[in-house]
Structure 1
Amino acid sequence: MLRQLIDPANAVTATGLVLSAIGINLAIAGLPEIGVAVVLWALLADHLDGVVAQRTQGRPAETGQIGKNLDSLADLVSAGVFPAVTSIIIGHGSTISVAAGTILVVASALRLSYFNVFGSPGSRFIGVPTTYVVPVTAIIFLLRPVISEVIFPNLFAFVLVVLAVLHIAPLRVPKTAGVMYLVVMAFCVGASIVLATRGLP
């Protein structure tokens, strides 16, 4: 099994998974802003692994299948588990934060499972991709200084529930392509710098 990680694309995906695990640990340690900053780099890895896979010549079909499933599991951790854990932590385990986190994880798993079976017909995703949760989470935390700390945990939980509903809604969402890749990359780098700087103790 470990040989599958020698594949460049799978190695990139695994790196993103490691970054997501680090982000979760940072959130648990009381450093959610830095955790979000790290998970933004996991999102960059998610965008990069597909490009690497397309440019890897002679890639065995089974390696590609493993990569596809590994990518989905990595997305579940970065865009499902991480925001859920972060919500529960900043909400101090409130019923709302636990419910929101649970709903997001289930919706993320369902959305990713559906995608693995049906793909993206017509080059459009069915339902909002799970990876959208990461930049939205970053935006919410970037705005945190101007949001009352009394309402921030519930606001974040509410946003996660809305995203969970959009994951499984019958929407047709175009794939990220062309200049949008550059926009996403620029946002991830810029936002991660701001959040990491702000989150330093």
Structure 2
Amino acid sequence: MLRQLIDPANAVTAAGLVLSVIGINCAIAGLPEGGVAIVLWALLADHLDGVVAQRTQGRAAETGQVGKNLDSLADLVSAGIFPAVTSIIVGHGSTISVAAGTILVVASALRLSYFNVFGSPGGRFIGVPTTYAVPVTAIIFLFRPVIPAATFPNLFAFVLVAIAVLHIAPLRVPKTAGVMYLVVTAFCVGASIVLATRT
């Protein structure tokens, strides 16, 4: 199994997974902004692994299948489990934060499982991709200083539930392509720097 990580694209995916785990650890340690900053780089890894896979010559079909499933599991951690854990941490284990986190994780797992079976017909995703939860989480935390402390946990929980609904909604979402890759990269780098300085 470990030989599958010799594949460059799978190695990038695994690196993103490692970053997500570090981000979760930061949230648990009481440094949620630092966790978000790190997981933004996991999102960049998620965008990069596909590019690397396309440019890897002679890649075995089985390696590609392993990579596809590894990618989905990594997305579940970065865009499902991480925001859920962060919500529970900032909400101090409130019923609302636990419920929101649970709903997001279940919706993320369902969305990713559905994608692995049905793909993206017509070149469009069905439902909002799970990875969108990461920049949305970053935006919420970027505005945290101007949001009342008592309001922030419930607002974050509400946003996570809204994202969960969009994950499984019958929406057709175009894939990220062209200049949007640059936009996502610039946002991830810029937001991670700002959030890291607040840690």
How far 1:172 moved relative to its partner? 0.2
Q: Deviations over 1:68-101 (max 9, x none)?
A: 0000000000000000000000000000000000
Counterparts of 1:34-183 in structure 2 under 5 Å? 34-183=34-183
> Normalization by structure 2: what TM-score?
0.99
Q: How many angstroms apart in 2 are the aligned matches of 1:18 and 1:118?
A: 28
| Aligned residue-pair number | 198
Q: How many angstroms apart in 1 are the aligned matches of 2:97 and 2:82?
A: 13
Q: How many angstroms apart in 2 are the aligned matches of 1:192 and 1:133?
A: 15
Q: How many angstroms apart in 1 are the aligned matches of 2:44 and 2:149?
A: 29
How far 1:105 moved relative to its partner? 0.1
> Normalization by structure 1: what TM-score?
0.98
How far 1:159 moved relative to its partner? 0.1
Q: Deviations over 1:140-195 (max 9, x none)?
A: 00000000000000000000000000000000000000000000000000000000
User: 1:12 matched to which residue of 2?
Assistant: 12
How far 1:9 moved relative to its partner? 0.1
Q: Deviations over 1:105-137 (max 9, x none)?
A: 000000000000000000000000000000000
Structure 1: state its 5+ residue gaps.
none
Q: How many angstroms apart in 1 are the aligned matches of 2:177 and 2:55?
A: 16
Q: Helix, strand or coil: the match of 2:125?
A: strand
How far 1:42 moved relative to its partner? 0.0
How far 1:20 moved relative to its partner? 0.1
How far 1:45 moved relative to its partner? 0.0
Q: How many angstroms apart in 2 are the aligned matches of 1:191 and 1:173?
A: 24
% identical equivalent positions? 90
Structure 2: state its 5+ residue gaps.
none
What RMSD over aligned residues (CA atoms) do the two structures have, in Å? 0.2
Instruction: Report runs of 4+ in structure 1 exceeding 3 Å deviation.
Output: none
